[in-house]
Structure 1
Amino acid sequence: MPQWRAVTGRSHEPRARFAEELRLLRAAKGESLRDLADRLGWDPSMLGKMESGRSLGSPEIVEALDQYYATPGLLLALWELAVGDPTQFKEQYRRYMVLETEAHSLWHFGVSILPGLLQTEGYARELLALGGAKGDELDQQVEARIGRRELLVEEDAPLFRAVIAEAVLRTPLRDDGEWRGQLEHLLEMSQRPNVTIQVLPQQAGLHGLVSTSVMFLRLLGGRTVAYAENAIRGELVEENASVEQLHHAYDAMRDLALNPAESRKFILRMLEEVPCEPST
């Protein structure tokens, strides 16, 4: 995997952080803006505005830059933070978003919604709209959310394990077709060698993460951090003892989950229950 640079000491204001990363990546290659523009086929003045913070560009440009610099998902994650209102992103969540792209393995438990890395466009759109986004802002947030999925399909993609509560799979989207597409996407992703999906059945009963969603990030050097969320707040957990306590709760909960093969069968049963689209 690419050797990510430490984020310590960097700007934590989303727009400035995004522009700073663009400048540093180009400088590391020893290229001018004109060189970069010639290689990517984009206007050098637009690239210059992005590096100065005067423009954020489009998700298409950011995706091209992620590919060119071999930073799968990093720039899109920073762009997603920058296009929104910076006040809505707490310091800890901004740091988590960057760490997510640096991790070489991730473990997630979702108590109420699917993890962003497994969401389809339809699922992301309905979920983000519930948060108040609309119009161009909603379109940008959806594109950025979907762009982050590239993290799981790159050549050096990290290992990803998702344990999903049964309640999540029994909470459909309003549009049956979009919900069908989401379930099909889960089945497709479960076949990838780096992705493991397990379902925690309702009959498993109470467990240590019954009201908490959590993502563990295994970073280069062996350190693990966690981001835990409930209905009120989210917290980046970096202190070893607290991470270990969460991990014990995760392991105990995972022991109650269906194995990957049984989980695929469960998702397939959910898919079969989705009403068929009316024939035309």
Structure 2
Amino acid sequence: MPARRVVTGRSQEPRKRFAEELRKLRAERGDSLRRLGEVVGWDWSLFSKMEKGETLGGPEVVQALDTYYGTSGMLLVLWELALGDPTQFKERYRRYMALEAEAISLWHYAAYVLPGLLQTEAYARTLMESEGTFEGDELTRQVEARMGRRLLLEGDSAPTFRTILSETVLRTPLPVRAQWQEQLEHLLTAGDRRNITIQVVPHAAGLYALANTDVMFLKPTDGRTVAWVETAYSGEVVEGTAAVDQLQHRYDVVRDLALSPADSRKLILRTLEEASCEPSI
């Protein structure tokens, strides 16, 4: 593996460190961007954007660069760290991101939109575009960061994650039919994993607590429970025992109203079948 440079204050930021490493490795080889593109097999402009920190690229291109430079997976590790870099998120989310990263279990309720941990790239992009907060390269960076968070649920040491979705979440499709089908298929695939449980509260359950509140409960390694309550305009970490207990009680009531995981899967499958049908003429 090539000699590593001393980590500077600037390169301690994962995204900048990743771009810095790419520039350094190419300089050591003496390659131009065009030459690198020819050898590795991607358009040289992608490598230019990656070295400027404008995009992180995908895992395939990073693995190809690891092979070319002989860095034994180092670039892929840096890429994963850059995807999950909490500095890419708004200040109000950083405390939550730190808690999420160290949680040994998470349980969640979604009132209107899917949890970020289960969103496809198209779903995340459409949602962020509708919010109007980001655009251009910054929108791309935010979508990449959200996709990076999904790594939290992968691997042998991944935390357990339960999400309860209101049926409204399933009945609110993406504008592009194929992208919505992809999202529903992703839910089905995720629900098959041992550490993920997905349930749905049907409309027939009527009114219930938390009906207008997205909430995530997190259990860090110290055994306490922390809640993250979010609306379209703000998010708040709730750590007080009484407040968390009250939210937990409401969550338990909602869980009692939800379909079983098996019946929830059937509802998602029916929704996918409906989305796959051609509209009547």
Structure 2 residues without counterparts, runs of 5 or longer? 20-52, 63-72
- Out of 77, 84, 87, the residue aligned to residue 82 of structure 1 is 87
Range with bigger deviation, 157-166 or 228-237: 228-237
Q: 1:7 maps to what in 2?
A: none
**What does residue 122 of structure 1 align with?**
122
**What is aligned with 2:168?**
167
Asked if structure 2 preserves the Cα contact closer than 8 Å seen for 1:66 and 1:76, the reply is no
State the 1:123 CA deviation. Answer: 0.2
CA contact (8 A) 2:83 2:148 kept: yes
Equivalenced residues, count: 230
Residue number in structure 2 paired with 1:105: 105
Distance 1:156 1:53, change over 3 A: closer
Unaligned runs of at least 5 residues, structure 1:
1-33, 38-43
Local SS of the residue matching 2:172? coil
Specify the code of the residue in structure 2 equivalent to 1:51.
Q
Deviations 1:123-156 (A, max 9, x none): 0110111222222111111111111101111220
Q: CA deviation at 1:275?
A: 3.8
1:67 CA displacement: 6.9
Cα distance change of structure 1 residues 171 and 65 upon mapping to structure 2, 3 Å threshold: farther
Question: How much identity, in percent, do the aligned residues show?
Answer: 50
Q: Is the 8 A contact 2:201 2:258 kept in 1?
A: yes
> Secondary structure of the residue that 1:255 maps to in structure 2?
helix
**SS, match of residue 259 in structure 2:** coil
Match of 2:16 among 49, 55, 75: 55
RMSD of aligned Cα (Å): 3.1
- Flag as ranges the 4+ runs of structure 1 deviating above 3 A: 44-49, 52-69, 72-77, 275-278
Aligned counterparts of 1:120 and 1:154: Cα–Cα separation in 2? 19
CA shift, 1:230, in A, is: 2.7
Hey, what's the Cα distance between the residues in 1 that align with 2:190 and 2:265? 10
- TM-score after normalising by structure 1: 0.73
1:242 and 1:50 map into 2 onto residues whose CA distance is 40
- One-letter amino acid of the counterpart of residue 159, structure 1: T
SS at match of 2:16: coil
Tell me, yes or no, if the aligned pair for 1:73 and 1:101 is still in contact at 8 Å: no
Partner of 1:182: 183
Counterparts of 1:12-27 in structure 2, within 5 Å, are none
